[in-house]
Amino acid sequence: MSRTPIIAGNWKMHKSPKVAVAFVQELASMIQPYDKVERVVAPTFLALGSVAAALEGAALKVASQDAHWEESGAYTSQVSAAMLQPLVDYVIIGHSECRAFLNETDENVNKKAHAILACGLQAIIAVGESLEQNEAGETVEFVRSQVSAALEGISAEDMRRVVIAYEPIWAIGTGRSASGEQADEIIKSAVRDTVRALYDDAVADALRIQYGGSVKPGNMEEFMSQPNIDGALVGGASLQADDFAALIEIASRVKGM
């Protein structure tokens, strides 16, 4: 089963609209040869409109870093999936920073997934365990529960528009990453096999799963060489055009694109 690799840059709270537009214009020309790899950038809400306009028909897709599940309403600070629909291809939900700072719960992640898919968008659902859970040997059980909760009620048909990102919290922004083999093992047993049990072989084998957490050009090959890892969700290294382009080049080469 061949899955299209997907490398997404989660810019978090970085890059003003002006800086973001200049960045994607530079990056788009650098990554031109690697068009078999799906490339995505996730600017802040503020920069989404200008980045989407600058990229029209170009080599990069745009993601939002979150979306509310209601279409509109009294939800101060929020932006709905329906409002994002004309601007983005993907919405990232369930990021551990949102779980930690914004009280993102499994239940809300599931509501957001339904809203995103109902709008015709694609979802990148982030899951991952804390250091304490990892050290207590609870990783597989915990990640399985996050995956099952996020996907509740999502049809097999809609699963074609879902990507899952496994990001161990202890590896995010710390410079400390899981080894390729460790990450592949968790991704297989806690993500792909959970989806296999919830759906079937076809859905599980088609599902694209990213690794995230201190991915950089120096360790990208190790992750991309793993059979169950189909791409990366990248924070820090996606903020530098050279590094981000190098990640995309490595994914293209290692995955034989």
Looking at the annotation, which residues are catalytic? Answer: 95, 167
**Alpha helix ranges (H) inside 131-213:** 131-135, 139-150, 180-186, 193-198, 201-206
Contact string 126-145 vs ligand 13P (x = CB under 6 A): --------------------
Q: Show contacts with ligand 13P in window 73-112 (CB under 6 A).
A: 95
| 153 to 182: interface string for ligand 13P, x by CB under 6 A | --------------x----xx---------
Closest-CA residue to 44 (of 18, 69, 26, 70): 18
x-or-dash string of contact with ligand 13P, 41-80, rule CB under 6 A: ----------------------------------------
**E strand or H helix that includes residue 122:** strand 122-127
Q: How far is the CB of 80 from ligand 13P (least distance, A)?
A: 22
Min. distance of Cβ 61 from ligand 13P in angstroms?
Answer: 16
> Among 47, 60, 163, 233, which residue sits at the site for ligand 13P (rule: CB under 6 A)?
233
Q: Cα Rg for the chain, rounded, in angstroms?
A: 17
Task: Compute the distance between CA of residue 84 and CA of residue 233 in angstroms, rounded to an integer.
Answer: 20
Interatomic CA distance for residues 10 and 192, integer angstroms: 23
Q: Do 92 and 64 meet the contact criterion of CB atoms below 8 Å apart?
A: yes
Stretch that binds ligand 13P, among 30-38, 68-76, 141-149, 233-241 (CB under 6 A): 233-241
Query: CB 74 → ligand 13P: shortest distance, Å?
Result: 29
Nearest by Cα to 223 from 167, 190, 179: 179
Q: What residues make contact with ligand 13P under the rule CB under 6 A? A: 10, 95, 167, 172-173, 212-215, 233-237
